[in-house]
Amino acid sequence: MLNQLKKNHFYLIETAKKLISQRFKENRHHFAAALKAKDGKIFTGLQLKTSIAGSEVCAEAVAIASAAEEGVTDIEALVLVNRIGDVISPCGKCRELFIDYCPKAEIIVPGPAGARIMTPAELLPSRSLKSNVKSAA
């Protein structure tokens, strides 16, 4: 497990904090994400909350889509913060998204002694294993 934050990780955290502090809007944007591509480009995203339960779009997905729009697919690191700027863990849907879109990225998550780094496979360990179970169809 990776654990130590580097200078670029702190920059990502500050970028996400700045975004949510500027754009927080009750019942619209409660979370912000920032990601760093291998080429050094930074992309951000805001959560898109809706009035329909379960249909919101996560900030991480918005950031990954922003990178994809520019043809950037090699993501180095990603962080998510809440409305007060705390680093928070991604939801299960986003953990699945990381496995598919940035499986080697360093995901910044909260830890007992502050923020730490995990890989998508560490965040969703069973997803990365091949199953030998045959379907019962």
Cα 82 from Cα 1, distance rounded (Å): 24
Alpha-helix runs per DSSP H in the chain: 7-23, 59-69, 92-101, 120-123
Which among 56, 60, 76, 106 is annotated as catalytic?
60
Instruction: Calculate Rg over the CA atoms of the chain.
Output: 15
Cα 113 from Cα 100, distance rounded (Å): 29
Which residue, chain included where needed, has tokens 């520019």? 70
Is residue 122 annotated as part of the catalytic site, yes or no?
A: no
Catalytic residues: 60
